[in-house]
């Protein structure tokens, strides 16, 4: 059988360099250590800076490196495990070591990408709840949770004047009203400026965008758009079909 076109394609230089750099990270650098500048690294490995940048970007995507404001490129620490499921979404207001922390809440228009997911009247107010997911002391996700006013009919307009308190109240009322089901999609994206700031990333850094629709007896009760650090999270699916984010070494070997 003749050689196929794919079989004849040579491995890109940056991909080979990525492998070499990965081995160097294991042997020559410690977690948190700042890498030399691009000029020095390119000279050390005898490659063009453009090739080096491609390799560094791939290692960042794989979670081996982090680019930090005012610091440079550092060796990433071990990944943390974060479960993504309704039971762990903080709808009951439970405060744990791994919790969604309310940042703010305002009435807003639905973004174009979210509007088709919620069947609400054009003039119906929607609560936009901003939250940050913290795991092991590290911000790993930023979320915008869109909740139509009809999903939280008992919410008081005056009992929680501050934005974080009102965000917590909206989430708790959503939980009290009842969630009967959900569906979820995951896609790779780039960090927007507001998400990047909250996650200590650079704008455009790779992220995982998890969009979840929550259903009640009537229809869609809320839509969550959560942006997870792609260098921190690995997606796994449990036996029950629940989507989880886990980096436990034992789970990794079993997956």
- Sheet containing 220-229: give its strands across: 99-108, 126-135, 138-148, 220-229, 206-215, 181-190
Lowest mean pLDDT among 82-86, 225-229, 241-245: 241-245
pLDDT of residue 91: 60
Evaluate whether 212 touches 45 at the Cβ level (below 8 Å): no
pLDDT of residue 89: 60
pLDDT tens by residue, 29-70: 998 899 999 999 999 889 999 999 999 988 887 778 887 777
Residue 186: what pLDDT?
Answer: 87
pLDDT tens, position by position, 104-143: 999 888 888 888 898 887 777 899 999 998 877 778 899 9
At 81, is the pLDDT very low, low, confident or very high (cuts 50, 70, 90)? low
Q: What is the dihedral of CA 48, 49, 54, 59, to 10 degrees?
A: 110
> What is the predicted pLDDT for the residue at 72?
84
pLDDT at 171 over 80: yes
- Average of per-residue pLDDT values in the chain: 78
Phi, psi of 63 (to 5 degrees): 85, 10
Question: What pLDDT score was predicted for residue 134?
Answer: 84
| Residue 224 reports pLDDT greater than 70 | yes
Q: Quickly state the pLDDT bin for 176 (edges 50, 70, 90).
A: confident
The per-residue pLDDT for 166 is 87
Domain ranges across the chain:
13-75, 82-254
Burial of 246 (0-12, 13-18, 19+ CB in 10 A): buried
Q: For the domain bounded by 82-254, which CATH number is listed?
A: 3.40.1410.10
With a cut of 70, say whether residue 8 has pLDDT above it.
no
Identify the weakest region by mean pLDDT among 150-164, 181-195, 234-248: 234-248
The architecture of the domain spanning 13-75 is: Orthogonal Bundle (1.10)
pLDDT band at 235 (very low <50, low <70, confident <90, very high): low
The arithmetic mean of pLDDT across residues 75-83, rounded, is 69
| 3-class SS of residue 201 | coil
């Amino acid at each position: 059988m003749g050689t196929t076109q794919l079989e004849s394609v040579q491995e890109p230089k940056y991909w080979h360099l990525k492998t070499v750099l990965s081995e160097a990270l294991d042997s020559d650098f410690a977690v948190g250590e700042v890498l030399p500048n691009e000029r020095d690294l390119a000279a050390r490995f005898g490659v063009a800076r453009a090739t080096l940048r491609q390799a560094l970007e791939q290692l960042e995507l794989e979670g081996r490196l982090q680019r930090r404001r005012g610091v440079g490129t550092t060796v990433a620490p071990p990944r943390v495990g974060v479960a993504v499921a309704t039971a762990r979404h903080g709808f009951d207001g439970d405060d744990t070591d791994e919790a969604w922390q309310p940042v703010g809440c305002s009435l807003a228009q639905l973004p174009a990408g979210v509007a088709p997911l919620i069947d609400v009247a054009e003039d119906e107010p929607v609560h936009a709840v901003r939250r940050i997911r913290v795991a092991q002391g590290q911000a790993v996700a930023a979320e915008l949770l869109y909740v139509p006013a009809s999903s939280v009919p008992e919410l008081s307009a005056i009992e929680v004047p501050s934005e974080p308190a009102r965000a917590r109240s909206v989430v708790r009322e959503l939980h009290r009203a009842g969630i009967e089901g959900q569906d979820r999609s995951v896609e790779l994206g780039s960090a927007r400026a507001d998400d990047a700031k909250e996650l200590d990333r650079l704008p455009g850094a790779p992220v995982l965008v998890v969009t979840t629709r929550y259903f009640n007896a009537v229809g869609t009760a809320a839509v969550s758009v959560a942006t997870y650090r792609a260098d921190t999270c690995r997606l796994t699916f449990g036996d029950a079909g629940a989507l989880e984010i886990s980096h436990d070494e034992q789970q990794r070997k079993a997956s």
